[in-house]
Structure 1
Amino acid sequence: MAIRKLRQGEQDTLRDHLLRLGPEDRQMRFMGSASDSLIQSYCGRIDWLRTTILGYFTDADLRGVAELVQAGNRWPKAAELALTVERPFQNRGIGTTLLQKALVVARNRFTSTVYMTCLLENKKMQRIAHNCGASLVIHEGESEGTIWPPWPSYLSLVEEAATEGQALFRAAFEVPSSRTSIVLDKIV
């Protein structure tokens, strides 16, 4: 999997991913209907100092996202987490992997509590959260998962750095799959 952090200035990449979501997936992500203009406005308002976005890429296209947003200014830190994976890429473990990597990022930033809120009918999200150790509470048509990451360790810091290093390596040395098939056709 090609997973890396999005950088400030990549709002358009995130916007394009969110705009590719169908109405049902938009409703699950935003807990209500989300028009194209709402998504554009949302991406334009991201506070990159409080938000870490991990993206799953196929070639250059963003197909899945974990958004970790610091909540408030208290210590120890708390954060909210949201996941999206485009429909053709669901049920492949991408959401689980994004959540696991986002929890490492939260841990390395001394985040003591991560909250995940979803609609009651979003069983996929509830299952992913539960499988990653979330305590789930249901109230008023919503399910809220709470995860308490441990404090950072040398291994968690190395794990986050390795994810970024792997993404840089792929970007520098791998040929996208569409080009590979063209080259192979010319050789044969």
Structure 2
Amino acid sequence: MFKKFTSEDVSGQNQVKASVQRKIRQSIADEYPGLELVLDDLLPKKSPLIVAKCQNHLNLVVVNNVPLFFNIRYGPYMPTLRLLHQYPTIMKKFQVDRGAIKFVLAGANIMCPGLTSKGGLLDEDVDAERPVAIMAEGKQHALAIGFTKMSAKDIKAINKGIGVDNMHYLNDGLWKMERLD
């Protein structure tokens, strides 16, 4: 999704009204209860919140020129990897085995066998169509953020095909864009 993403892909930036800002804050607070204590620091009420519209119905939530969250169409907001590295406990986690790491870092979707093999781990209570952090076997920080195509129970039971869509990974265009000017 962000493989060749650059600032030229941003078609427009709008400072949102206070009512829209409250709605965005509330949906982020509902999705990530672990951010409750730091949400005022991340999305200050007095600071302008900018939504950058990009190609393919992608929206970036930007505060002080720093992209913090993104979503597609009207889907759930997902944190950027930089934000996830600051607050690693806010998302449910899936872990891929060592063999899958290079493919995930190249932008490939996460296949079920990479999650269910010896080095993989699944958070059992994750439903389908939920954002998850993709961890790597033997590594401390997340290497990607994904969107589940099926529930963790189905991934374990079926063990075939794509389990998680890779939305944002280390060294993609959004990772390289530390600031949006």
Q: TM-score, normalized by length of structure 1? A: 0.29
Q: TM-score, normalized by length of structure 2? A: 0.30
Higher relative contact order (CA 8 A, sep 6+): 2
Richer in helix (by share): 1
Larger Rg: 1 or 2?
Answer: 1
